[in-house]
């Protein structure tokens, strides 16, 4: 008998009616170095020292909405208080409070969000120490640590350890409306994560960010997923240069060709981003079944490459897409619209 695996987003959502929140939680001061700086740690540093050094960059988040609040996690990855978290942590929020490792709090504002990738960028009113984003490919079997705020703010900076179990996972997530969306190119790992860990970092043993924790399997143990950090790093690069950055939009939903092959086994191409759907208001030249292999001379090997290329584009930027269509390469010029 086949059994469906259900995946849970990790924000811990509360309804305010009938629920008491202790606003004075952790009012004592903790001895944590919160000096704004890049935290860079050598590979020889003992793990206990790594954890002590990185925790100043990891935050708890409470996002208040019109009918409740959610508890999640975040991590600072750039000077100026730029914090990366999950979209579902801050979705529809009226106010965002950041809980710091020294037991103080500060407010934050939302700068950017993407529901499809489940990422968001908030900016703290207080400058924070921040972590290095890893630029290397992760390896299956390497040790990792997860830091976050499982269950409640009482458990800020909870640390768990595991290994990377697999790479480039695609996970179907059932939303509240009953429809399924797909998250691609995820890092699978077995470090324990729970509700409230959403938005917290998955780290290497020398404290570099490998990914942002976002999902876990609800009916299994040790199956968690993180979004590769390269996506968030690209977005924050744009925002730190220009907070009014207007992200470009080509109206293309693309998936890995391996995923598309499940529906169409005639696909022979081994790499590229398969065009699964197109917003006709944006592009009339592309169509389902096209495989994007280059954007502005940059190779596109999978859907992650495609999304990274999109995150670098501003509204009104022009892009030349090399597309494989019916066995032939076709050049298509597009102009990005402002994403709304």
Active site residues: 88, 118, 198
Exposed e or buried b for every residue in 307-324, given b needs 16+ CB within 10 A? bbbbbbbeeeeebebbbb
Inter-axis angle of helices 303-311 and 229-241, nearest 10: 10
- What is the C-alpha to C-alpha distance for residues 169 and 167, in angstroms, rounded to an integer? 6
Alpha helix segments (H runs only) across the chain: 47-54, 87-90, 229-241, 257-260, 303-311
Residue 204 CB burial class (10 angstroms; 0-12, 13-18, ≥19): buried
With beta carbons less than 8 A apart as the criterion, state whether 23 and 69 touch.
no
Q: Tell how far CA 75 is from the center of its chain.
A: 11
- What is the C-alpha to C-alpha distance for residues 85 and 70, in angstroms, rounded to an integer? 13
């Amino acid at each position: 008998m086949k059994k469906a695996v259900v995946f849970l987003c990790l924000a811990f959502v509360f309804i305010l009616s009938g629920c008491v929140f202790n606003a004075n939680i952790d009012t004592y001061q903790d001895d944590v170095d919160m000096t704004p700086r890049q935290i860079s740690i050598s590979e020889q540093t003992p793990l206990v020292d790594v954890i002590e050094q990185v925790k100043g960059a990891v935050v708890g988040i409470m996002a208040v909405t019109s009918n409740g609040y959610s508890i999640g996690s975040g991590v600072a990855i750039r000077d100026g208080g730029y914090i990366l978290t999950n979209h579902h942590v801050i979705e529809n929020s009226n106010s965002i409070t950041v809980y710091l490792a020294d037991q103080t709090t500060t407010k934050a504002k939302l700068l950017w969000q993407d529901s499809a990738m489940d990422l968001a960028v908030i900016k703290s009113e207080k400058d924070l120490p921040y972590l290095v984003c890893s630029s290397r490919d992760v390896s299956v079997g390497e040790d990792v640590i997860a830091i976050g705020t499982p269950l409640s703010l009482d458990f800020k900076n909870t640390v768990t350890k595991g290994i990377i179990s697999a790479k480039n996972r695609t996970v179907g997530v059932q939303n509240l409306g009953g429809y399924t969306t797909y998250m691609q190119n995820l890092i699978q790992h077995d470090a324990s994560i729970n509700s409230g860990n959403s938005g917290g970092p998955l780290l290497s043993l020398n404290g570099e960010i490998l990914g942002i924790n976002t999902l876990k399997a609800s009916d299994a143990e040790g199956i968690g997923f993180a979004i590769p950090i390269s996506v968030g790093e690209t977005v924050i690069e744009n925002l730190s240069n220009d907070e009014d950055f207007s992200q470009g939009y080509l109206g293309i939903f693309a998936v890995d060709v391996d995923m598309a092959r499940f529906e169409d086994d005639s696909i022979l191409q081994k790499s590229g981003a398969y065009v699964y759907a197109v917003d006709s208001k944006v592009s009339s030249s592309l169509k389902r079944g096209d495989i994007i292999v280059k954007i502005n001379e940059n190779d596109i090997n999978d859907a992650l490459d495609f999304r990274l290329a999109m995150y670098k584009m501003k509204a009104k930027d022009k892009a030349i897409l090399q597309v494989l269509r019916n066995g032939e390469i076709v050049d298509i010029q597009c102009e990005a619209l402002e994403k709304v």
